[in-house]
A and B are shown apart, each in its own frame.
Chain A
Amino acid sequence: MAKFNKKKSGDMPAISTASLPDIVFMLLFFFMVATVMRQNTLMVENNLPFADQVEKLDKKDLVMYIYAGKPSENYAKQYGSSAKIQLNDKFADVSEIAAFIAAERASKREELVPFLTTALKVDSDANMGLVSDIKKELRKVNALKINYTTKKGSVVEQ
Protein backbone atom coordinates (compact mmCIF):
# COMPACT_ATOMS: atom_id res chain seq x y z
CA MET A 1 0.00 0.00 0.00
CA ALA A 2 2.94 2.28 0.48
CA LYS A 3 2.97 2.75 -3.25
CA PHE A 4 -0.29 4.62 -3.18
CA ASN A 5 0.39 6.69 -0.11
CA LYS A 6 3.40 8.24 -1.70
CA LYS A 7 1.42 10.73 -3.76
CA LYS A 8 -0.19 12.38 -0.83
CA SER A 9 3.07 13.60 0.55
CA GLY A 10 2.76 17.40 0.89
CA ASP A 11 4.55 20.09 -1.17
CA MET A 12 3.46 21.43 -4.51
CA PRO A 13 6.24 20.99 -7.02
CA ALA A 14 7.74 24.30 -8.22
CA ILE A 15 6.45 25.41 -11.62
CA SER A 16 9.13 24.94 -14.17
CA THR A 17 10.33 28.22 -15.67
CA ALA A 18 12.41 26.49 -18.28
CA SER A 19 10.05 27.56 -21.06
CA LEU A 20 10.05 31.20 -20.02
CA PRO A 21 12.96 32.10 -22.32
CA ASP A 22 11.11 30.52 -25.20
CA ILE A 23 8.06 32.64 -24.59
CA VAL A 24 10.12 35.78 -24.25
CA PHE A 25 12.06 34.97 -27.40
CA MET A 26 8.83 34.55 -29.23
CA LEU A 27 7.75 38.05 -28.24
CA LEU A 28 11.21 39.33 -29.03
CA PHE A 29 11.11 37.98 -32.55
CA PHE A 30 7.68 39.45 -33.09
CA PHE A 31 8.87 42.92 -32.19
CA MET A 32 12.09 42.55 -34.12
CA VAL A 33 10.15 41.71 -37.23
CA ALA A 34 7.45 44.32 -36.73
CA THR A 35 9.88 47.14 -36.03
CA VAL A 36 10.37 49.59 -38.82
CA MET A 37 13.51 51.56 -38.37
CA ARG A 38 13.16 55.14 -39.48
CA GLN A 39 14.81 55.77 -42.81
CA ASN A 40 15.52 59.41 -42.32
CA THR A 41 16.58 61.27 -39.25
CA LEU A 42 14.17 64.11 -38.86
CA MET A 43 15.78 67.50 -38.79
CA VAL A 44 12.55 69.44 -38.84
CA GLU A 45 9.66 69.63 -36.45
CA ASN A 46 7.05 67.33 -37.80
CA ASN A 47 3.79 67.67 -35.99
CA LEU A 48 1.37 66.41 -38.61
CA PRO A 49 -2.12 67.90 -38.89
CA PHE A 50 -5.27 65.92 -38.24
CA ALA A 51 -7.76 64.63 -40.79
CA ASP A 52 -10.37 61.91 -40.78
CA GLN A 53 -10.96 61.18 -44.46
CA VAL A 54 -7.66 59.40 -44.77
CA GLU A 55 -6.56 56.61 -47.02
CA LYS A 56 -3.78 54.25 -46.09
CA LEU A 57 -0.50 54.51 -47.88
CA ASP A 58 0.60 50.99 -48.56
CA LYS A 59 3.50 49.77 -50.67
CA LYS A 60 6.11 51.65 -48.70
CA ASP A 61 8.77 51.16 -51.33
CA LEU A 62 6.77 53.24 -53.79
CA VAL A 63 6.63 56.31 -51.63
CA MET A 64 8.92 59.30 -51.75
CA TYR A 65 8.98 61.37 -48.61
CA ILE A 66 9.33 65.10 -48.52
CA TYR A 67 9.49 66.63 -45.06
CA ALA A 68 8.94 70.26 -44.28
CA GLY A 69 8.72 72.36 -41.17
CA LYS A 70 10.73 74.48 -38.82
CA PRO A 71 14.26 73.22 -38.15
CA SER A 72 14.22 71.33 -34.87
CA GLU A 73 15.92 72.75 -31.80
CA ASN A 74 19.39 71.39 -32.51
CA TYR A 75 19.48 73.01 -35.89
CA ALA A 76 17.54 76.18 -35.15
CA LYS A 77 20.69 78.16 -34.37
CA GLN A 78 22.34 77.25 -37.60
CA TYR A 79 19.41 77.37 -39.97
CA GLY A 80 17.04 79.88 -38.42
CA SER A 81 13.43 79.32 -37.52
CA SER A 82 11.59 79.65 -40.81
CA ALA A 83 10.16 76.48 -42.30
CA LYS A 84 12.51 74.46 -44.47
CA ILE A 85 12.34 71.38 -46.67
CA GLN A 86 14.16 68.20 -45.79
CA LEU A 87 15.04 65.67 -48.46
CA ASN A 88 16.75 62.47 -47.38
CA ASP A 89 18.98 63.50 -44.50
CA LYS A 90 19.64 67.13 -45.21
CA PHE A 91 17.95 70.45 -45.64
CA ALA A 92 17.25 71.30 -49.22
CA ASP A 93 16.10 74.15 -51.34
CA VAL A 94 12.88 74.03 -53.35
CA SER A 95 14.90 73.79 -56.55
CA GLU A 96 16.49 70.52 -55.40
CA ILE A 97 13.18 68.67 -55.42
CA ALA A 98 13.40 67.99 -59.15
CA ALA A 99 16.76 66.29 -58.73
CA PHE A 100 15.49 64.35 -55.73
CA ILE A 101 12.50 63.00 -57.65
CA ALA A 102 14.71 62.09 -60.59
CA ALA A 103 17.07 60.19 -58.28
CA GLU A 104 14.19 58.35 -56.62
CA ARG A 105 12.76 57.41 -59.98
CA ALA A 106 16.10 56.17 -61.20
CA SER A 107 16.41 53.89 -58.19
CA LYS A 108 13.11 52.12 -58.89
CA ARG A 109 12.29 49.61 -61.57
CA GLU A 110 11.01 51.30 -64.69
CA GLU A 111 7.56 49.72 -64.68
CA LEU A 112 6.95 50.94 -61.14
CA VAL A 113 7.75 54.57 -61.80
CA PRO A 114 4.17 55.59 -62.70
CA PHE A 115 2.96 54.29 -59.33
CA LEU A 116 5.30 56.39 -57.26
CA THR A 117 3.54 58.59 -54.75
CA THR A 118 5.00 61.60 -53.05
CA ALA A 119 4.13 61.82 -49.38
CA LEU A 120 4.22 65.35 -48.05
CA LYS A 121 4.94 65.29 -44.35
CA VAL A 122 4.51 68.90 -43.47
CA ASP A 123 4.35 70.42 -40.02
CA SER A 124 0.93 71.76 -39.17
CA ASP A 125 2.29 75.25 -38.44
CA ALA A 126 4.07 75.61 -41.75
CA ASN A 127 2.48 78.04 -44.14
CA MET A 128 0.99 77.21 -47.47
CA GLY A 129 3.54 79.26 -49.38
CA LEU A 130 6.14 76.57 -48.87
CA VAL A 131 3.69 73.80 -49.70
CA SER A 132 2.61 75.59 -52.88
CA ASP A 133 6.25 75.89 -53.92
CA ILE A 134 6.75 72.17 -53.39
CA LYS A 135 3.61 71.36 -55.34
CA LYS A 136 4.70 73.58 -58.20
CA GLU A 137 8.06 71.81 -58.39
CA LEU A 138 6.32 68.44 -58.36
CA ARG A 139 4.08 69.50 -61.20
CA LYS A 140 7.11 70.57 -63.20
CA VAL A 141 8.65 67.11 -62.94
CA ASN A 142 5.29 65.46 -63.50
CA ALA A 143 5.12 63.74 -60.10
CA LEU A 144 1.40 64.27 -59.76
CA LYS A 145 0.35 61.65 -57.25
CA ILE A 146 0.68 63.16 -53.82
CA ASN A 147 -0.45 62.31 -50.34
CA TYR A 148 -0.76 64.81 -47.55
CA THR A 149 0.28 62.62 -44.65
CA THR A 150 -1.84 63.30 -41.60
CA LYS A 151 -2.71 61.88 -38.25
CA LYS A 152 -6.08 60.33 -37.85
CA GLY A 153 -8.38 62.48 -35.81
CA SER A 154 -11.22 64.88 -36.02
CA VAL A 155 -10.58 68.25 -37.60
CA VAL A 156 -13.34 70.40 -36.30
CA GLU A 157 -12.82 70.61 -32.58
CA GLN A 158 -9.20 71.76 -32.80
Chain B
Amino acid sequence: MAKRAAPEVNAGSMADIAFLLLIFFLVTTTIETDAGINRKLPPMEDENVQPPVIKKKNIFTVLLNGKDELLVEDERMELKDLRQAAIDFLDNGGDGSCDYCKGAKDSESSDNPDKAIISLKNERETTYKTYIAVQNELVAAYNVLRDRRATDLYGITFAEMEANYDDVNWPGNKTKLKEQIEKIKLEYPQKLSEVQ
Protein backbone atom coordinates (compact mmCIF):
# COMPACT_ATOMS: atom_id res chain seq x y z
CA MET B 1 0.00 0.00 0.00
CA ALA B 2 1.38 3.29 -0.99
CA LYS B 3 1.25 6.01 1.58
CA ARG B 4 -1.26 8.63 0.67
CA ALA B 5 -1.09 12.22 1.74
CA ALA B 6 -4.15 13.18 3.79
CA PRO B 7 -6.46 15.30 1.65
CA GLU B 8 -6.42 18.94 2.60
CA VAL B 9 -9.49 20.17 4.50
CA ASN B 10 -11.37 22.74 2.55
CA ALA B 11 -11.10 26.00 4.39
CA GLY B 12 -13.39 27.89 2.07
CA SER B 13 -16.26 27.98 4.53
CA MET B 14 -14.11 29.35 7.32
CA ALA B 15 -15.01 32.85 6.27
CA ASP B 16 -18.70 32.02 6.49
CA ILE B 17 -18.36 30.71 10.01
CA ALA B 18 -16.37 33.73 11.06
CA PHE B 19 -18.98 35.99 9.50
CA LEU B 20 -21.69 34.25 11.45
CA LEU B 21 -19.89 34.85 14.73
CA LEU B 22 -19.06 38.39 13.71
CA ILE B 23 -22.67 39.20 13.01
CA PHE B 24 -23.71 37.71 16.32
CA PHE B 25 -21.31 39.93 18.21
CA LEU B 26 -22.18 42.95 16.10
CA VAL B 27 -25.82 42.56 17.02
CA THR B 28 -25.33 41.89 20.72
CA THR B 29 -22.79 44.65 21.28
CA THR B 30 -24.05 47.65 23.13
CA ILE B 31 -21.10 49.91 23.52
CA GLU B 32 -22.34 51.29 26.76
CA THR B 33 -20.88 54.44 28.11
CA ASP B 34 -22.52 55.40 31.30
CA ALA B 35 -22.71 59.12 31.72
CA GLY B 36 -24.74 61.26 33.99
CA ILE B 37 -24.91 64.12 36.40
CA ASN B 38 -22.67 63.63 39.39
CA ARG B 39 -24.02 64.87 42.69
CA LYS B 40 -23.00 64.57 46.27
CA LEU B 41 -25.63 63.94 48.89
CA PRO B 42 -25.42 65.80 52.17
CA PRO B 43 -24.57 63.63 55.16
CA MET B 44 -27.27 62.97 57.72
CA GLU B 45 -27.40 66.07 59.86
CA ASP B 46 -27.14 66.19 63.59
CA GLU B 47 -30.34 67.08 65.35
CA ASN B 48 -28.56 69.52 67.65
CA VAL B 49 -26.80 71.62 65.07
CA GLN B 50 -28.55 74.87 64.35
CA PRO B 51 -28.80 75.59 60.64
CA PRO B 52 -26.86 78.72 59.75
CA VAL B 53 -28.82 81.87 59.17
CA ILE B 54 -28.78 82.85 55.51
CA LYS B 55 -30.13 86.08 54.15
CA LYS B 56 -33.17 85.57 52.00
CA LYS B 57 -31.67 87.46 49.10
CA ASN B 58 -28.83 84.96 48.92
CA ILE B 59 -31.19 82.05 48.31
CA PHE B 60 -32.54 81.26 44.88
CA THR B 61 -35.57 79.08 45.41
CA VAL B 62 -36.66 76.67 42.73
CA LEU B 63 -39.89 74.82 43.37
CA LEU B 64 -41.14 71.92 41.30
CA ASN B 65 -44.68 70.86 41.95
CA GLY B 66 -46.47 67.59 41.28
CA LYS B 67 -47.62 68.77 37.87
CA ASP B 68 -44.06 69.49 36.77
CA GLU B 69 -44.56 73.24 36.93
CA LEU B 70 -41.67 75.43 37.87
CA LEU B 71 -41.81 78.24 40.42
CA VAL B 72 -38.63 80.28 40.63
CA GLU B 73 -38.34 83.04 43.23
CA ASP B 74 -42.14 83.05 43.58
CA GLU B 75 -42.76 83.45 39.88
CA ARG B 76 -43.75 80.88 37.31
CA MET B 77 -41.03 80.16 34.82
CA GLU B 78 -40.44 78.03 31.77
CA LEU B 79 -37.59 75.55 31.86
CA LYS B 80 -35.74 77.26 29.05
CA ASP B 81 -35.44 80.51 31.03
CA LEU B 82 -34.14 78.82 34.15
CA ARG B 83 -30.50 78.68 33.12
CA GLN B 84 -30.26 82.41 32.43
CA ALA B 85 -32.14 83.25 35.63
CA ALA B 86 -29.72 81.12 37.66
CA ILE B 87 -26.72 82.73 35.94
CA ASP B 88 -28.08 86.21 36.65
CA PHE B 89 -28.55 85.30 40.29
CA LEU B 90 -25.13 83.69 40.81
CA ASP B 91 -23.24 86.34 38.91
CA ASN B 92 -24.97 89.29 40.52
CA GLY B 93 -22.22 90.36 42.93
CA GLY B 94 -24.42 92.69 44.96
CA ASP B 95 -21.93 93.61 47.71
CA GLY B 96 -19.12 94.49 45.30
CA SER B 97 -16.64 92.04 46.83
CA CYS B 98 -16.59 89.95 43.67
CA ASP B 99 -14.50 91.76 41.10
CA TYR B 100 -14.91 89.12 38.39
CA CYS B 101 -18.72 89.14 38.41
CA LYS B 102 -20.39 90.72 35.43
CA GLY B 103 -23.92 90.73 36.80
CA ALA B 104 -26.35 93.56 37.42
CA LYS B 105 -25.05 94.31 40.96
CA ASP B 106 -28.63 94.41 42.14
CA SER B 107 -28.75 94.90 45.90
CA GLU B 108 -31.89 92.78 46.10
CA SER B 109 -30.15 89.72 44.64
CA SER B 110 -27.18 87.65 45.83
CA ASP B 111 -24.12 89.23 47.51
CA ASN B 112 -21.43 87.18 45.78
CA PRO B 113 -21.09 83.73 44.19
CA ASP B 114 -19.67 82.33 47.40
CA LYS B 115 -22.76 83.23 49.39
CA ALA B 116 -25.31 82.49 46.69
CA ILE B 117 -27.21 79.27 47.30
CA ILE B 118 -29.66 77.60 44.99
CA SER B 119 -32.35 75.75 46.83
CA LEU B 120 -34.30 73.10 44.94
CA LYS B 121 -37.50 71.68 46.31
CA ASN B 122 -39.60 69.05 44.67
CA GLU B 123 -42.72 67.13 45.56
CA ARG B 124 -43.17 63.40 45.60
CA GLU B 125 -45.30 63.51 42.46
CA THR B 126 -42.74 65.38 40.38
CA THR B 127 -41.55 63.18 37.53
CA TYR B 128 -37.93 62.20 37.44
CA LYS B 129 -37.54 63.52 33.92
CA THR B 130 -38.39 67.07 34.93
CA TYR B 131 -36.27 66.86 38.02
CA ILE B 132 -33.24 65.85 35.96
CA ALA B 133 -33.98 68.60 33.45
CA VAL B 134 -33.97 71.19 36.24
CA GLN B 135 -30.81 69.75 37.81
CA ASN B 136 -29.22 69.86 34.39
CA GLU B 137 -30.08 73.51 33.85
CA LEU B 138 -28.76 74.50 37.26
CA VAL B 139 -25.51 72.61 36.76
CA ALA B 140 -25.29 74.23 33.33
CA ALA B 141 -25.53 77.68 34.93
CA TYR B 142 -22.49 76.93 37.08
CA ASN B 143 -20.64 75.47 34.12
CA VAL B 144 -21.32 78.53 31.98
CA LEU B 145 -19.91 80.83 34.65
CA ARG B 146 -16.87 78.63 35.28
CA ASP B 147 -16.20 78.37 31.57
CA ARG B 148 -16.38 82.13 31.20
CA ARG B 149 -14.04 82.71 34.11
CA ALA B 150 -11.57 80.10 32.84
CA THR B 151 -11.58 81.64 29.38
CA ASP B 152 -10.89 85.07 30.86
CA LEU B 153 -8.04 83.82 33.05
CA TYR B 154 -6.38 81.05 31.08
CA GLY B 155 -7.83 81.20 27.57
CA ILE B 156 -9.45 77.76 27.62
CA THR B 157 -12.79 76.62 28.96
CA PHE B 158 -13.22 74.95 32.30
CA ALA B 159 -14.48 71.79 30.64
CA GLU B 160 -11.30 71.59 28.57
CA MET B 161 -9.18 72.13 31.67
CA GLU B 162 -10.87 69.22 33.40
CA ALA B 163 -10.54 67.07 30.29
CA ASN B 164 -6.83 67.91 30.16
CA TYR B 165 -6.46 67.02 33.80
CA ASP B 166 -7.94 63.58 33.21
CA ASP B 167 -5.99 63.04 30.01
CA VAL B 168 -2.92 60.91 30.71
CA ASN B 169 -1.15 62.11 27.59
CA TRP B 170 -1.57 65.80 28.26
CA PRO B 171 1.92 67.32 28.20
CA GLY B 172 1.40 70.33 30.50
CA ASN B 173 1.99 70.81 34.19
CA LYS B 174 -0.71 68.96 36.09
CA THR B 175 -0.09 70.42 39.54
CA LYS B 176 -0.46 73.91 38.16
CA LEU B 177 -3.59 72.92 36.26
CA LYS B 178 -5.04 71.42 39.41
CA GLU B 179 -4.45 74.71 41.22
CA GLN B 180 -6.15 76.63 38.45
CA ILE B 181 -9.14 74.28 38.52
CA GLU B 182 -9.40 74.61 42.27
CA LYS B 183 -9.22 78.38 42.01
CA ILE B 184 -12.13 78.52 39.61
CA LYS B 185 -14.11 76.05 41.66
CA LEU B 186 -13.55 78.33 44.64
CA GLU B 187 -14.64 81.42 42.77
CA TYR B 188 -17.87 79.80 41.61
CA PRO B 189 -18.59 77.12 44.21
CA GLN B 190 -21.47 74.82 43.44
CA LYS B 191 -23.88 75.42 46.26
CA LEU B 192 -26.98 73.56 45.33
CA SER B 193 -29.11 72.55 48.22
CA GLU B 194 -32.06 70.21 48.10
CA VAL B 195 -34.89 70.45 50.54
CA GLN B 196 -35.71 67.05 51.94
What bracket does the count of chain B residues touching chain A fall in? 35 or more
Q: Is A146 a contact of B126 with CB atoms below 8 Å? A: no
Q: Given A52-B140, A144-B41, A156 and B80 touching (CB < 8 A)? A: yes
Q: Is B36 a contact of A54 with CB atoms below 8 Å? A: yes
Contacts of A139 in B (CB 8 A): 41-44
B96 to chain A minimum Cβ distance, whole angstroms, is: 30
Cβ of B125 within 8 Å of any chain A Cβ, yes or no, is yes
Q: Given A140-B44, A150-B132, A145 and B125 touching (CB < 8 A)? A: no
Q: Is B44 a contact of A53 with CB atoms below 8 Å? A: no
Cβ of A35 within 8 Å of any chain B Cβ, yes or no, is yes
A155 to B129: give the CA distance in the assembly, Å: 9
Q: Given A119-B34, A155-B137, A156-B79, A127 and B18 touching (CB < 8 A)? A: no
Most buried by A among B29, B136, B196: B136
Q: Is B22 a contact of A27 with CB atoms below 8 Å? A: yes
A138 to B38: give the CA distance in the assembly, Å: 15
Cβ of A128 within 8 Å of any chain B Cβ, yes or no, is yes
A108 to B124: give the CA distance in the assembly, Å: 34
Interface string of A12-42 (1 = CB under 8 A from B): 0000010011001101100110111110000
Contacts of A49 in B (CB 8 A): 128-129, 132-133
A31 to chain B minimum Cβ distance, whole angstroms, is: 4
Contact of A125 among B15, B31, B129, B133 (CB under 8 A): B129
Contact of B41 among A37, A129, A135, A152 (CB under 8 A): A135
Q: Is B34 a contact of A149 with CB atoms below 8 Å? A: yes
Interface residues of B in 1-60 (CB under 8 A from A): 11, 14-15, 18-19, 21-22, 25-26, 28-44
Cβ of B139 within 8 Å of any chain A Cβ, yes or no, is yes
Interface size, chain A (Cβ < 8 Å): 55
A57 to B35: give the CA distance in the assembly, Å: 5
Q: Is B136 a contact of A155 with CB atoms below 8 Å? A: yes
Q: Is A53 a contact of B43 with CB atoms below 8 Å? A: no
Q: Is B41 a contact of A53 with CB atoms below 8 Å? A: no
Q: Is A21 a contact of B11 with CB atoms below 8 Å? A: yes
A13 to B132: give the CA distance in the assembly, Å: 63
A140 to B44: give the CA distance in the assembly, Å: 7
Residues of chain A at the chain B interface (Cβ within 8 Å): 17, 20-21, 24-25, 27-28, 31-32, 34-38, 49-57, 60, 63, 117, 119, 122-129, 131-132, 135-136, 138-140, 142-150, 152, 155-156, 158
Residues of chain B at the chain A interface (Cβ within 8 Å): 11, 14-15, 18-19, 21-22, 25-26, 28-44, 64, 79-80, 122-129, 131-133, 135-137, 139-140, 143, 196
